[in-house]
């Protein structure tokens, strides 16, 4: 009987989806993702931070190379939430703000070390090699016209062909 109970517990646990994030709770991840999307928004039909999977990149970075930056994220996010409540007392979360409200919120904190780190991580997640979890389907590289190739062929640009 004891063995069967044990297996039942294991089975039940296996039915739970694994946590999606290693460094954030689900609500934290949603808030950080909303901030990242404000830094690099989907605009004019070009994908933004969300489509690129920037939150995946940040989550992995904070669980690895940048683990020492977790406290900055904790306190930084708290400060941004305070700022949000001050600016928009009726709001419930960053993710629930309107686009213009999120822009106003980030303007209010853009000189903080947390914002500077978040901008850095957002850009990294948008342009990193996709193996790091961001730049999904190379959307970052496509946005700026960067083609990653081992061999490029001349002419590279318009001016090599242009008569003087």
Partner 1 sequence: MKPMRRYSTREAVDFAVIGAGAAGGVVASELAKAGFSTVVLEQGPWLQQKDFAHDELAVMQRSLYINDHRKQPNTFRRRPEEQAKVQPAIEYARMVGGGSVHFTANYWRFHPNDFRERSLFGGVPGADLRDWPIPYDELEPYYTRAEWELGIAGQAGANPFDGPRSKPYPLPPLPVKSSGVLLDRAAKKLGLHSYPAPMAILSQPYRGRAACSECGYCEAFGCEMGAKSSTLAALIPGAVATGNCEIRPHSYVQRIETGADGRVNGVLYCDARRRTLRQRAKAVVVCANGAETPRLLLLSASKQHPQGLANGNGLVGKYLMFDTGIFVHGVFAKPLNEYKGAVVSRVIQDYYAADPKRGFYGGAGLDARYDLYPMTFALDGMPKDEPQWGAEWKKNIGYRYTRMMGILAHLSCLAVERNSISLDPEVKDAWGLPAIRVTFENHADDLKNMQWAADRSKEVLDAAGAEKIWQDKVASMTYSLHLMGTCRMGDDPRHSVVNRWHRSHDVKNLFLVDGSSLVTCGRQQPTATIQALAFRAAEHMAKAARNGELA
Q: What are the residues binding partner 1 (CB under 8 A)?
A: 38-41, 43-44, 46, 48, 65, 103, 106, 110, 119-120, 123-124, 126-129, 132, 140-141, 143-146, 148-160, 162, 164
Residue 5 or residue 133: which is nearer to partner 1 going by CB?
133
Residue 79 or residue 130: which is nearer to partner 1 going by CB?
130
Query: What are the distances in angstroms from CA 111 to CA 78, 114, 117, 143?
Result: 16, 8, 11, 27
Tell me how far, at minimum, the Cβ of 29 lies from partner 1, in Å. Answer: 20
Tell me how far, at minimum, the Cβ of 15 lies from partner 1, in Å. Answer: 36
Residue 29 or residue 140: which is nearer to partner 1 going by CB?
140
Residue 11 or residue 156: which is nearer to partner 1 going by CB?
156
Q: Which residues of 58-82 are buried (b: 16+ CB within 10 A; e: fewer)?
A: bbbbbeeebeebeebbeebbeebee
Q: Which residues of 89-126 are buried (b: 16+ CB within 10 A; e: fewer)?
A: eebeebbebeeebbebbbeebeebebbebbbebbbbbb
Tell me how far, at minimum, the Cβ of 105 lies from partner 1, in Å. Answer: 12
């Amino acid at each position: 009987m004891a063995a069967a109970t044990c297996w039942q517990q294991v089975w039940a646990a296996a039915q739970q989806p694994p946590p999606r994030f290693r460094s954030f709770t689900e609500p934290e991840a949603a808030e950080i993702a909303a901030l990242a999307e404000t830094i690099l928004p989907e605009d004019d039909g070009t994908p933004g931070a969300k489509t690129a999977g920037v939150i995946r990149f940040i989550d992995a970075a904070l669980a690895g190379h940048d683990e020492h930056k977790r406290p900055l994220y904790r306190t930084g996010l708290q400060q941004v939430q305070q700022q949000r409540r001050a600016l928009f007392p009726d709001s419930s979360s960053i993710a629930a703000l309107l686009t213009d409200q999120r822009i106003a919120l980030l303007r209010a904190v853009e000189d903080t070390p947390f914002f500077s780190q978040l901008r850095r991580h957002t850009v990294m997640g948008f342009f990193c090699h996709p193996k790091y979890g961001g730049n999904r389907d190379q959307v970052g590289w496509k946005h700026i016209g960067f083609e990653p190739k081992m061999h490029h062929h001349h002419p590279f640009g318009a001016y090599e062909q242009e008569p003087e």
